[in-house]
Structure 1
């Protein structure tokens, strides 16, 4: 019986270790955060108590996903907000957020913009307002544009380093050939 328990414990460890390593690969802890966050859409996640906000940066737009308990999507109905963007050339612009799909908001970037910092102010349908800051975006995600291996069949400008959903239409990203 002891041998069976040892074997079972070893098997559980062997199965759980790769899963834990995978979760850590896609988790990021920001300054001031108490724990790392797994990003369901491959972006950057920050706490916005009681929510989390995920930023998915694309060359022409920023997509923001409000996430609830256990990183579940929060419908965007009735939400409004804006994002102040600081570019790598230190130019600052405030952009309106528009509803996209049923679970996120987007902001169209000025042509050629390279975002360093984004400060989002978002008001939920129940009138709760939150402000969330995303910093060092040019450093943290700059390497992904080069290694982007997945794209949206409907929006070729949407690219990602890993599989996921298109922030514009929700279609599954497909591997580039």
Structure 2
């Protein structure tokens, strides 16, 4: 009976280590700084948007009042030209209405024109780039839009630098649940 308890305890202690190893990078590779496929990155986005992992690339979504800009990024956050890239964005508004908008290549990014007076909650980007299908989901966009106004006098921030985590009082990060830390 005592041996069974020891084996169970050993298994439970090793479980978090095996989960972390599932997302380990190749030996001798530079650390990348992201958690898992599709999650928000700990590093900054080059165009001020939200970055998600999509296969071997990253997708950055930048909101503008009447359109969305979608950038393809490589592992070093460099913009990849969207030559011969096609795609669309499925939109869910704060009024719970859905629509799909085509993405049009424009210079170094893709653009989706938003329907008039759209307040986004979720955007799902689907791309076909270099013969590969890429997809990324961007949620809580209505909260992310309101976050900069709250962040002005913010004294506390998530240690993982999650979007919308800035606060003027201690608490927990709304995205990852970690305790907010006082800014230096």
2:91 maps to 1:78:
no
Is 1:37–1:46's contact at 8 Å kept on the other side of the alignment? Answer: no
Q: 1:128 aligns with which of 132, 135, 154?
A: 132
User: Could you tell me how far apart the structure 1 residues matched to 2:83 and 2:39 are?
Assistant: 28
CA RMSD of superposed structures (Å): 2.7
- Per the alignment, residue 93 of structure 2 pairs with 87
Is 1:28–1:45's contact at 8 Å kept on the other side of the alignment? Answer: no
User: Could you tell me how far apart the structure 1 residues matched to 2:89 and 2:97 are?
Assistant: 14
User: Could you tell me how far apart the structure 1 residues matched to 2:110 and 2:149 are?
Assistant: 22
User: Could you tell me how far apart the structure 2 residues matched to 1:65 and 1:34 are?
Assistant: 15
Is 2:94–2:120's contact at 8 Å kept on the other side of the alignment? Answer: yes
Matching of residues 1-177 of structure 1 within 5 Å: 33=39, 35-101=41-107, 103-124=108-129, 126-144=130-148
Is 2:41–2:51's contact at 8 Å kept on the other side of the alignment? Answer: no
Q: TM-score with structure 1 length normalisation? A: 0.61
Is 2:40–2:51's contact at 8 Å kept on the other side of the alignment? Answer: no
Is 1:30–1:36's contact at 8 Å kept on the other side of the alignment? Answer: no
Q: CA deviation at 1:131?
A: 1.1
User: Could you tell me how far apart the structure 2 residues matched to 1:31 and 1:128 are?
Assistant: 16
Moved over 4 A (4+): 27-32
Structure 1 gaps, min length 5: 1-26, 148-177
Question: Which of these two proteins has the greater Rg computed from alpha carbons?
Answer: 2
1:31–1:132: structure 2 CA closer, same or farther, 3 Å change rule? closer
User: Could you tell me how far apart the structure 2 residues matched to 1:29 and 1:110 are?
Assistant: 33
User: Could you tell me how far apart the structure 2 residues matched to 1:37 and 1:99 are?
Assistant: 25
Cα-to-partner distance string for 1:27-81 (whole Å, 9 max, x where unaligned): 9979963851311000011111211100000110000000002111111110000
